[in-house]
Structures are given as C-alpha cells and as structure tokens.
Structure 1
Amino acid sequence: MRKRKTLNSKHKTKNEKKKEEEEEEEEEIEKIEKIQKPKFSLAHSLYQKKFILLLFLFRIANSYLCQTFADPDEYWQSLEVAHNVVYGYGHLTWEWITALRGYLHPLIFAGLYYFLNLFGLDENRFIFLQSPGVLQAFFGSLTDFYTYKIAKHWFGYKVANFSLILNLSSWFLWFYSTRTVSNSLETTLVIIGLYYWSNSPHVIFKSRKKISIAIFLFSIAFMIRPTSAIIFGCLGLWSLKKLNNWNHRLKFLFVVVAPIFLSVFILSTAIDTIMFKRPTIVFWNFLKFNLLSGNSEIYGTHPWHWYLSQGIPAILTSFLPLLIFSIWLQFKNSNLGQSFLNKIKSKKNKNNNNNSKNSSINKKNTKNQYQNKDQKKNKNRYNQKIFTSESKSDFYMYQLKKKKQNEMKKNKNRDNNRNGNRNRNRNRNKSNQNDNKYINYNPKVSNYYPKSNQNSSTSQMYLIFFIIIVNVFVYSLLDHKEFRFILPIVPLLLIVCSFSLVNFSEPKSTEEKSELIGHRIFFWSVLILLILIQVFSSAYFGMVHQRGRVTVMNFLSDEANSYQMDNKEMNVMFLTQCHATPWYSHIHKNISMSFPDCSPRLKELNNLGKVPDSQFFEDETLKYVTKKFANIANYPTHIVTFDNFWLKMKDFLESKNYRICNINFNTHFPVDRELQKYVYVLCKNE
C-alpha cells in the first residue's frame, strides 16, 4: 500500500501540484494575517472612523475652494437633470432626448434636492449650492481611504503612506474629486470594488461577501458609465486566467458574476424605463452611438497618442518622473528586463575580453624582450627565489587562491555575526510585528513587499499595470479624448509613483549618521518641492482658471431675486458657445433663459441638413445677432457674452441701448478656442 501511494504521488499532474502549492501559500498567508491583524477592537474602529472623518473634512474644504468651471457635464448631465426631476424645470440636453444617458447618477442628487426641499433648506442659497459638493466630497474621501487601503493591503505601509500623500496633493484629484461629473463617482466605485476584489482564485469561492460587493459596485459603475467595463473586464480576465479548471471558470461567471450583474441591470433598466416613459437600455444606446456608429467625433478628435503625450503628463505634472522611474524599476526586476540587461552585459564582456586578449599578446611580447630585467626584480622575500615568466604566472594563481580563501572566511564570520544578532533581536521584534510587517527593505521594487505575501504583491503589481495599460490603449483608440475619462486609473498611477518614493526614501548605505540625515533632508526637500508644484496648480485651476463662468451666475441669481421682489419678468440671452455656464441648478429661479443650440445633426432629432446655431454664431456673430433680434418681440433684459464676441457686436448692441453692468474675470489663456478673458453681463437701459 505504501508503494502504491508513493507511485501515485509521483504521477501527479502539473495542475494538481499547482493547486496544492497555491493552497499551501494561501494557508500561510491566512495564518500570518490572523497573527498580524488584531481582532475587532473599539480603538481600531474609532481610528478608522477618525481617519475617514479627516479625509471627509479635507474634501469638504476642497469642494468649497474649488470655485471654477471644469466641464459642462458637471452641471448639464447631473445637477440640471436632478433639478428638472425635483422642481419641474431645468434644461435637458439632446443626450436625454436620444436616451444616451441613464438616470441612475442624477437621481442621487435628485434625492439630495428632495431632502433639501422637504425641510425648506433649499431656500438658503449657500446650502443649496454647496450641498452637492459636500455629497461628492464624501465620495471623494472614500476614494482616498480605499486607495490607501489597497496600497497597504497589497504593498505595505510605506507605499500606502506615500500614496496617500500623493493622492491628497494631486492637483488633478483636487480639481475633479468633488465635482458632480459621473467620472468622479465612477472612480469611487472602481477603487472600492478593486479593494474588495480578491486576486486569489480559491478565495473567490470561500469568501463570497467581498467578491459580491466588488461585482455589485462594478455593475453600478457600468450602468453609470459603460466604459468602466474596461476595468471590470481586466479583473475578470485576470481571475479567469488564474482559475485553471473550466468548471471553476463557468461557476465564477454564471454563479458569482451573472446574478449580481443581472439584478443591477434590471434595476437600472426599470428606472430608465420609468423616467423616459418608454423601454430603454441606456448602455446599448451609448455603445451603439459612440462605438458602433462612430459618432464620438461630434465632440472633437484627438491623435491616438494624446493620452501618452499630453493626457498623463498634464495629469501627473511634477509626479511624472516618479512614474517613469517606477516603470523602470519594475522592468528592471522583471524576467524580461533581466534577460535584456544580461544580453547587454554579455555583449560588453565580449568586447572587453577581446580587448584584454589583444592587450595580453602585446604584453607578452614586451615581457620576452625585458625578461632579464624581470628576473632580477622578481625575488621572493623569504627564499630569494627568482621567478621566470612561467613560474611567475603560477605564483600569481597561488596568490589569487589565497585571497579567495580569506574572503570566504570573512563572509562566514559575517554570516555568523548576523545570525547571532538576529537571535538576540527576536524578542524585540515580537512586540513590533505590525510595524515590522513590511521591513526587509531593498532598493529593488520586489523586496519592499512583505516576505510572506511577496508573490501575491508582485501579481497585484502586474494587475495594476495591466489595468492601466489596457485602459490607456482602449481610450487611445477612440477619436474623442478628455482628461476626465482616465480619472479612475489616476489613484492607481499614484500608487505606482509611490514605489519610486519608497526606493528613494532610504539611502543605500547607512553606515554614517551624517549621510543618513543628509539623504533624508534631500529626499524630503525634493518631495516638498514636487508637492508645492501640485498645490500651486490646484490653487490656480481651482480658484482662478475659468472662474468667471460661475461667478456670472451668482450675479444673475441676485438680479433674479431683485426682479422677483419688484414683480418684474427677467429674460436672459446667452450669446456664448453652448453650455458655457451652469444653468437652472445654479440660479434656482424659474426665469426665461436661452443660448445657441449645439445639438448634432441626427435623424432622431429631425434636424438633418441644418447648421447648428452655435456654429453659426461663432462663425458669423454679427449676422446671428441681427437675425435673432429681428425675430424677437421683447428684447432680453440681460445679455451674457465673452469679451471676444462683444468686440464683434458692440456697435449693434449699443444701438439697442445695452451697456456693460457686470464684468467677471475668466482666464489667462485660451481653452479650445480664442482667448475669453472676461465674461460680460449687458443690461438694457429703460
């Protein structure tokens, strides 16, 4: 019987051996995590709550200090739709007529508006305007918190601490985290889902709670923005690859993923069907319009390399060198990188050997010429023996052997001393298990992972790179590109950047204290300089750049209140490009407002063959204005325009008794068109 067992154990398949090895690794990891992770304690839970609260307060300050205009979707695809749902008035863009957008995201803010209306808080203008930013600040704080948890769980405390510093100081996350664009909520859902997603194929079926939470969050993100399927697809392919058995793969797809995804899909479709008052599948309309029909060109086209040449460099700015160095470290420590570097070294060694051979031949010729002189000089100290050229080479070999033996003895003594020191410090290390979890630092990237979880950490590293590369590749294939499209991978990029900071944070040799202190001063001074560049960018883009588009609506809101007090009708005409400012969700008054329409030429809109009003206005401003005023019985009480358009129609509007009554600074440099430095409000003289 014993012989049969040994024979069966020898003839095990490769898959069975892999499974056994993976199960043993997971058991070891679980044991270590049980030792390292304390049981539930009130102090630990309070610490986490305080941590989230601090991040939430930071993002509230972020939302208050971010007072500029970023993207029309911040208002027109979320707050404006929610305002229309709750208060019954608000402009719906052409995307909502063709059902390219879903109501799942705007209904979050509709619930907020309903709550404010229920308790009469919407009458306070400050509360009404700041409450959506506070809600989005909560989502942004969750993004920061779970980014930190991902970095800590996968790569250790050092990487987590530096990634938190980079997240909180990033100008791009400051600019977008608290805005009500769907990309911000998508980022939150993706990061939390990524934390709960287990990379181990065996844990998928053991702990269904975490993987179910992850799939639920990814399903919601997909219904809000179908492009989040790129990240979800990357994770799915990664997990399916690790599941060696097809039965497990089918079980994962149809038992774990399908029920949760279908339930969220049915709920989202039911909401859209009720709101649109017709059966609609929004994500299919979105994919059909943008990908299959190729209509994404309507919003503008960019070259294929835009994200690599402009997008990521602008998003990271001063953190870009950290990303480049982290990529180099990972490539250097990978099998491909090591083979590539070994080939280069071998070529160099061949060249050096050829040069040494040529030089040795020349030396032999010279030695034979001066052999008599060498015999006189080369005498042994002890026996005064004279060495010839042949015996001299033997003597050199003898000396080399002695040197090697001495070096071996020294290394053995060092190892013995190290082992002795380790045994002495074992009791000290027991009390600091949690702090020393990720010690064993080495400048190489692979060695600042935890010892126990080193293999899983390297796989998580490859997973992050896989998600980033696939996202950038897929988005580069689309004609229309924007910075905010890759917002969900920005926290992952900052985690990768933190690898460089861990590498630079400690010197390679710490023999002298003066060198260590000098290295740390240099490191932190450089890091503070990089952060200051980010802070300056955050302050400028959050409080200065395109500020006039928002402040002009504050002036119009005050004017609407005064007109309402005097029982007068207010009529505002926007002679600007379409969607240039916030709308009813900012004024919160049911007054008459109009702007040049920019809907694309589509069969669904019955406007084929017509030139868009916005294009006609920008190309021939004066003709558009004269035609517009010829068809109006009652002239508007207020006109909003930019300084570049004002110069083209100044004489005509002054002849109609309009004067500048409010000036708002907008920007210092042009964005997508000629410079629009100021926003003017023209009031009609009675």
Structure 2
Amino acid sequence: MSALSSPARAAGTTTEGRRPDLMGENTHLVLFTISLRIINCLLVQTSFVPDEYWQSLEVAHHMVFNYGYLTWEWIEGLRGYSYPLVFAGIYKILQLLGQDGVQWLIWGPRLAQAVLSALADVKLYSLVKRLENQELAKWVFFCQLCSWFTWYCCTRTLTNTMETVLTTFALFHYPLEGSKMVNSFKYPTLVAVACIVRPTAIVPWLPLLFRHFWQEQRKLNLVLHRFVPVGLATLGFSLIIDRIFFGEWILVQFNFLKFNVLQNLSTFYGSHPWHWYLTQGFPVVLGPHLPFFLHGCFLAPRRARILLRPVVWTLLVYSMLSHKEFRFIYPVLPFCMVFCGYSVKSLKVWRRPAASFLLLSNVVLALYTGLVHQRGALDVMAHVQGLCSAHPPGPSSASVLVLMPCHSTPLYSHVHCRLPVRFLECPPDLTGKGNYVDEADLFYTDPLSWLKGEFKSDALLPTHLIFFNVLEEELKGFLAPRGYERTTVIFHTHVPEGRTGSHIYIYERKKREAHPSSG
C-alpha cells in the first residue's frame, strides 16, 4: 500500500472499492466549473498556434463537408484522424440538424472542449480531496482555475489540450493508494487514448507507469493482462480509423516519432537552447504561480512528491529536443497546481493576500492574452467569410491571397464556403537533398519578384490580398498599378516581431480593367 493511502483513510474521504460520485456530491461544483469554462471559452478570442485549427478543425471540416485543405502532415501520414474525428462528429450532428452555420462550426467544438476541461478540473479537485483533505483540494482547485495559461489553452482545440484533459482523468484513476485498485483498466486506457491523440503524452506518464510496475507484486500479470491488451486495443482502434480515412494501413505514431525525434526535422519550425524550458518556457507557463510552486515543492510531504516526478522528467526529456514550445509542457500543469495548493494552504496569515495576488495577476494575463494579443488572425476571417455572401459563386466571385507566415489563420472551418483562398506554404524538406527553400521564404526574400512571377497576367490576380502592415511599403509598387486599395485595417498585436505586424491589412482590387505591367 502506498503512503498516500493513510491520510485518505484517516480523513475518511474514501474506502477500498468506493468510487467518488462526480455527479453526486459534487454536482454544484461541476455546474459551477462548466459555467466558468464556458465563460472562459467566450472570453478567448485570440489565436495561439496554427495547430489549434490545422490539426483539428480544418481536418474535421474536410472529413464532413468534403472540401478544404489538408497540410503536408496529413499527406505524409504524420497525424491520425482519431482526434479530428471528435470534432467531425460535432460537425456531422450540426449538419444533420441543419445548424451548420459558420458560428456553430467555430464555437461548437470549443464549447465541447470547455466542458471536457471543466470535468478535468473537478477530477483534479476530487483526486486531492480523496488523497489528502477538502481544505487542500479547495486551494488546488483555486490555483487551477486561476492559472492564466490554463485559461488561455483549455478551450482551444489543440491536441495538447485534449492530452492534458486525458492526463488529468487518468491521474484520478492512477493507483496512488496502492496497486490493488478497483477497475485499474481505466487509467492505462486513458493514457493510451492520450497517446493516440498525441504520442508525446507518454512522456509524463513514464515515471508513473514505472512506479506502478515496480510496486506491483504480480508484474507479469500487470503487463500481459492490463497494459498490453489496453495498448493493442487502443492502437488497433486508431489503425482502423486511419485506414478508413487514409485509404491504406499506416502507423502515424511511428511516423510522428520518426519525424520529430529520430530525424529531428521539427527543427525546421524553430530551435531553442537546451535550457529554454527552465529559463523561459516553464516560468512563463506557470506565470505568477511559480513562487508558490517552488515553495510547495519544499513544503509538500514525501508521499506527494511522486507527482513531482512527471514534471521534472517531462522538462528533462523536452529539453533534449531542439524544437520547443510553451504548449508542449501544458500537460504537467495540473501536477504543478497540487504543489501550489500546498503552498497557499500553508500561508495562513498571508493566505488571503497570496490568493488575491494569484487571482488578480492571472486575470490580467488571461484577459489580455485571451481578448487582445493576436486576435487579428481570427478577426480577419470574419471579413473573409463575408465575401461568401457578397460574391456568390460565379465569374465575378471573390478570391483571396493571404501573404502571411504560413497557416497564420484558420481557413474553411471559419469560412464554410468554397471561396478560393490561397496562402503561402511551408512544408519541410522531406527529400533530404538540401538547398531547400519553402514558398513562404521565397516570398519574403523578394515579395515583389515573387508576386510578379506568380501573376504574369492581370487576369490571374485575386480580388483580395491580406497581409501584415510590415509588408505594405514593399508591396506598394505592385498594389497601386493593379488597382488595389486598402479597405480594412485589423488590429493584431501590441508586440509584433519578425514577419508579424501589429495590424492586418485587407486590400481589394477595385479596378477590373487590365493595367500595364509596372515593370
């Protein structure tokens, strides 16, 4: 029996074979949390990374409505259809009900993700309450709801978000109280599903799986009768789904591992020094919680430090990979909240000021990142969607060229009409021949030359051009002679960097007659 079982029994919060009723005694808590996460969803109107659309919603839209664009990863079989299938199911239901308007397509999946995240929040509360006591559970729950990064990510349709939700669910069923636990198939099943969604989900679970194996007396039985059957069944389910949509048998998990780890080709999308997660990534993700987390690590009893192992291990493993992103370590954030809870609970006299600091500082970050920073990428799609009704299909229909870093915006999941839209592409070099330059880099090297080469005849010109304001001066020699006029200015960010500007411009071609080339 694990040491964590003693406090739980002393507090009388659980017994062997008794399963906490999530929708019973915690009904009010569940309803409150779901309501909060729905508000959370509505107050996040900004873009984070392209994957929240291009690895989920855009794929689901293509699956249900049979048009759209799939990125190179789907052509090469690096991603599986299991996760997009969840949102394709939502889209199909909306289609059958005749409610597949663009707003429902945008908000339906996000609201569903919000509800799942809310249930994960409650599971975290119930876990701590079962293992320790209600007082600690209350402060862990408070820290979880306060987290600005959780607020920022938990309603987005990112694979990392679903990975985090499934990890929290699995942790609730993990045998922290000992290896003899009722229905121990649940947590390995949830871990396996998380790995199907995103293969890297196995990383934080390796220390916990090894601990379970080490403490289990019947080790062979655990592996052969639980882990192996669950793994094979889940993998088989994933293979069948991918066989249906790819049209051939393909193991996307191996392709994902091969590309990102064995070949290390993910560095094409950026690389960082080994210490980035320690000096930037982890401190930013934790934000104002960081001092409380560090304090809680020293304060927490030894029996709770098993939950620290996944955090340390994940940071160590991801630090070895060149390509790093904030969202990659999102799944360990719920583990961190447990230690933050220990810290806040111990402060006593300073507890109220500490809680006020956490709440106010995180609210500022959450509202700014959710409502202001990088909102132009979504706002511009409302204007693009308006072209569907303003220019019905036909000889005079609208067409759009997006001259922004590749996949800066979503597409048909936020437009939902067969509007011709072209954008710069940036697939990595999969041939290994070297001297490879993607389309986006070619454009940014010499924008005018690229445009003149692509549109040698004015008849080929799109009706609308969309680009960041930093390009306007370079493009003036192309725009004015061909009758383009700026019609819309959309705010994007206060912190522009590189190829990203503070505003997005929409130029419309007003003059339809031919114009002489500008040389």
Question: What TM bracket, shorter-length normalisation?
Answer: over 0.9
Q: Are the equivalent residues in 1 in contact too, given 2:50–2:409 (CA < 8 A)?
A: yes
1:556 to 377, 384, 387: 384
Q: Does residue 295 in structure 1 map to residue 265 in structure 2?
A: yes
The correspondence of residues 287-686 of structure 1 with structure 2, limited to 5 A, is 287-329=257-299, 445-446=300-301, 458-459=302-303, 461-504=304-347, 506=348, 519=349, 522-564=350-392, 568-603=396-431, 609-630=435-456, 633-671=459-497, 673-674=498-499, 676-686=501-511
Q: Are the equivalent residues in 1 in contact too, given 2:13–2:129 (CA < 8 A)?
A: no
Deviation at 1:559, TM superposition (A): 2.0
Deviates more, 1:621-630 or 1:252-261: 621-630
Q: 1:199 to 1:165 in 2, by over 3 A?
A: closer
Deviation at 1:23, TM superposition (A): 9.9
The correspondence of residues 219-234 of structure 1 with structure 2, limited to 5 A, is 219-234=192-207
Q: Give the partner amino acid of 2:90.
A: L
Determine the structure 2 residue equivalent to 1:362. Answer: none
2:175 to 184, 198, 209: 198
Deviation at 1:126, TM superposition (A): 2.7
Please give the alpha-carbon distance, in whole angstroms, between the structure 2 residues aligned to 1:620 and 1:144: 49
Q: Does residue 102 in structure 1 map to residue 80 in structure 2?
A: yes
Q: How far does the alpha carbon of each residue in 1:377-428 deviate from its partner, in whole angstroms, 9 at most, with x for none? A: xxxxxxxxxxxxxxxxxxxxxxxxxxxxxxxxxxxxxxxxxxxxxxxxxxxx
Q: 1:163 to 1:27 in 2, by over 3 A?
A: closer
Q: How far does the alpha carbon of each residue in 1:286-335 deviate from its partner, in whole angstroms, 9 at most, with x for none? A: 11111111212111100111111001111122111111222233xxxxxx
Q: Are the equivalent residues in 2 in contact too, given 1:80–1:91 (CA < 8 A)?
A: yes
Q: Are the equivalent residues in 2 in contact too, given 1:194–1:214 (CA < 8 A)?
A: yes
Q: 1:552 to 1:25 in 2, by over 3 A?
A: closer
Displaced runs of 4+ in structure 1, greater than 3 A? 22-42, 44-47, 565-568, 607-610
Deviation at 1:35, TM superposition (A): 8.1
Q: 1:201 to 1:254 in 2, by over 3 A?
A: farther
2:153 to 157, 170, 176: 176
Please give the alpha-carbon distance, in whole angstroms, between the structure 2 residues aligned to 1:597 and 1:129: 23
Please give the alpha-carbon distance, in whole angstroms, between the structure 2 residues aligned to 1:653 and 1:602: 35
Q: How far does the alpha carbon of each residue in 1:482-529 deviate from its partner, in whole angstroms, 9 at most, with x for none? A: 01101110111121111111110x2xxxxxxxxxxxx3xx53133212
Q: Are the equivalent residues in 2 in contact too, given 1:186–1:488 (CA < 8 A)?
A: yes
Deviation at 1:648, TM superposition (A): 1.0
2:32 to 54, 60, 65: 54
Deviation at 1:558, TM superposition (A): 1.2
Please give the alpha-carbon distance, in whole angstroms, between the structure 2 residues aligned to 1:269 and 1:565: 39
Deviation at 1:462, TM superposition (A): 2.0
Q: 1:674 to 1:40 in 2, by over 3 A?
A: closer
Q: How far does the alpha carbon of each residue in 1:408-454 deviate from its partner, in whole angstroms, 9 at most, with x for none? A: xxxxxxxxxxxxxxxxxxxxxxxxxxxxxxxxxxxxx43xxxxxxxx
Q: How far does the alpha carbon of each residue in 1:129-186 deviate from its partner, in whole angstroms, 9 at most, with x for none? A: 2111111111111221111122222232222111111111111011100000111011
Determine the structure 1 residue equivalent to 2:227. Answer: 257
Please give the alpha-carbon distance, in whole angstroms, between the structure 1 residues aligned to 2:17 and 2:259: 51
Q: Are the equivalent residues in 2 in contact too, given 1:641–1:681 (CA < 8 A)?
A: yes
Q: Are the equivalent residues in 2 in contact too, given 1:64–1:133 (CA < 8 A)?
A: no
**SS in structure 2 opposite 1:304?**
coil
**SS in structure 1 opposite 2:504?**
strand
| Higher share in helix | 1
Please give the alpha-carbon distance, in whole angstroms, between the structure 2 residues aligned to 1:23 and 1:470: 21
1:141 to 112, 118, 140: 118
Please give the alpha-carbon distance, in whole angstroms, between the structure 1 residues aligned to 2:275 and 2:20: 50
Q: Give the partner amino acid of 2:336.
A: L
Please give the alpha-carbon distance, in whole angstroms, between the structure 2 residues aligned to 1:157 and 1:664: 48
Q: Are the equivalent residues in 2 in contact too, given 1:642–1:680 (CA < 8 A)?
A: yes
Deviation at 1:32, TM superposition (A): 6.9
Q: Give the partner amino acid of 2:50.
A: P
**SS in structure 1 opposite 2:308?**
helix
Q: Are the equivalent residues in 2 in contact too, given 1:190–1:221 (CA < 8 A)?
A: yes
Q: 1:608 to 1:213 in 2, by over 3 A?
A: same
Q: 1:157 to 1:562 in 2, by over 3 A?
A: same
Please give the alpha-carbon distance, in whole angstroms, between the structure 2 residues aligned to 1:162 and 1:32: 17
Deviation at 1:127, TM superposition (A): 2.3
Q: Are the equivalent residues in 1 in contact too, given 2:8–2:131 (CA < 8 A)?
A: no
Q: Give the partner amino acid of 2:492.
A: N
Q: Are the equivalent residues in 2 in contact too, given 1:182–1:225 (CA < 8 A)?
A: yes
Q: 1:502 to 1:28 in 2, by over 3 A?
A: closer
Q: Are the equivalent residues in 2 in contact too, given 1:149–1:160 (CA < 8 A)?
A: yes
Deviation at 1:632, TM superposition (A): 6.3
Structure 1-normalised TM-score?
0.71
Q: Are the equivalent residues in 1 in contact too, given 2:4–2:177 (CA < 8 A)?
A: no
Q: Are the equivalent residues in 2 in contact too, given 1:109–1:132 (CA < 8 A)?
A: yes
Determine the structure 1 residue equivalent to 2:251. Answer: 281
Q: Give the partner amino acid of 1:683.
A: E
Determine the structure 1 residue equivalent to 2:62. Answer: 84
**Structure 1, gaps ≥5 residues long:** 1-21, 330-444, 447-457, 507-518
Please give the alpha-carbon distance, in whole angstroms, between the structure 1 residues aligned to 2:14 and 2:462: 73
Determine the structure 1 residue equivalent to 2:96. Answer: 118
Deviation at 1:612, TM superposition (A): 0.9
Determine the structure 2 residue equivalent to 1:214. Answer: 187
**SS in structure 2 opposite 1:587?**
coil
Q: Give the partner amino acid of 1:308.
A: L
**Structure 2, gaps ≥5 residues long:** 512-519
Q: Are the equivalent residues in 1 in contact too, given 2:147–2:362 (CA < 8 A)?
A: yes
2:41 to 63, 77, 81: 63
